[in-house]
Chains A and B, each alone.
With several copies, the nearest count.
Chain A
């Protein structure tokens, strides 16, 4: 393990301190609790938006705290959900009287910790609502299982629900639009290399020099299967088809595209992928309203990428287009 860190046990604290040191005009840190809060929170009468999860996905989540996106983010240990007391503290920090929406990714740990936090908040008289993001089409969707994971599509939930809250939407309205995003967003990823959790010191899986992992999660979890590496076009075609067929996306649809790097993938390669995605969408007469290429939902230093498509209606288009000003996501 070769990393630019100090003690593994201290890496989350070090990171958060470095983050607030970089962006004091956007965010502040609640000491001890590892919560990143929007500088001017709570905003009176505005719905608060709290998300969080394990660390190691930067700029998710702390990087998206700011105007038009999250009001607070709870950082758990690397790849470990934050705890209920942390989340409760974040809820209290952002509660401006209009209630707080919790944006949770569909992992057992996250679900349970946020649920406990919501129960505690309720006991203290703060109104909360929750949405659960589950955009990863690599995982089979079934009532009898945990269901799908939340991955890069979560960023669109943050953006759009954040815009709605910023525009003065009620808790119900913000929750509703978040759920609309969740219903219309699909993603799938692949990895060239695994990643190493600092405290573990070694990767959770290994890949040969000519192997890639398809459909892996953003926590170093192995994926659906392993195969020989192919060209970027072939790999992209495979991922994009899975994503397209799932909703399904159809001719005439308007979409937003996110080509997300997992941590160690150069932008160059993400653009190569986007070329192919744009071509495939063009062929299917699906029109691209906006494209985001970059690292949004990473998995430490994993090399690989995911493709996300979000089907837009007029409301989603407008909210996606709204300005956002956060350290990790800026849009005029």
Chain B
């Protein structure tokens, strides 16, 4: 795919914009089974990222990702801050000082992000969290790449898997995060974090698709 650092930066900005656009929606989802702040938290974080990215014009891909992670960690708070922060941090650490990203980096980065989130949050699939969108997405991506698909195609498969994952969260009882306090009352509601993960992946895919 050959994504330059400048394109990576643009992609992250696009992700930020989608989060901003969905601030009310994500907050609404969180108000049903959480504390009504997921959109607010995430938008605040990506607002800080937006201010930060221009200062990284000369940085490598790993540094950009790690800085995004640090920025999220230090501005978002709540559960999503450490989780998404760790995700970007780990992706950045894995990818390292590259100037251009290939399909394999996408795979490596997302795998590292997923592992980071699972380690930080101790959630497993079925707990009604980010993991329920991200893990199937990562698996779908890997499978597609193994089957010889392009990065854009593979990410398309990941997006579909994430969307299914979001749908799946409606039917399960939360076992991690605030929603878990609701017990059975969490049934029927889609998970806000899984939803933001889906939105982020979809934006990345659209970005790649636009560019090809």
CB within 8 Å of B: which residues of A? 54, 76-86, 107-109, 112-113, 115-116, 138-140, 144-146, 149, 197, 199-200, 204-205, 217, 219-222, 224
Contact = CB atoms under 8 A, between A and B. Distances in A.
Contact of B27 (A54, A86, A200): A200
Interface of B: 27, 31, 33-37, 40-41, 44, 73-83, 120-121, 175-178, 180-183, 185
B35 A112 contact: no
A199 B37 contact: yes
Contact of A77 (B77, B79, B83, B185): B77
B81 A81 contact: yes
A205 B1 CA distance: 46
Given A113-B82, A116-B73, A200-B27, A80 B182 contact: no
B35 A108 contact: no
Given A81-B81, A83-B81, A199-B37, A149 B181 contact: yes
B175 A144 contact: yes
A217 B41 contact: no
A79 to B, nearest CB: 5
Given A82-B77, A139-B180, 13 more contacts: A77-B40, A80-B41, A83-B81, A108-B177, A109-B78, A113-B77, A113-B78, A140-B183, A145-B176, A146-B180, A200-B31, A204-B35, A220-B31
Give the interface centre of B76, B78, B120, B183 by most chain A CB atoms within 10 Å: B78
Contacts of A107: 79, 178
A197 B178 contact: no
22 contacts: A79-B36, A80-B78, A81-B78, A83-B73, A83-B76, A83-B77, A108-B176, A108-B178, A109-B78, A112-B79, A112-B121, A113-B77, A116-B73, A139-B180, A139-B183, A146-B175, A197-B35, A199-B37, A204-B36, A219-B178, A220-B36, A221-B35
Given A112-B120, A200-B40, A204-B31, A222 B77 contact: no
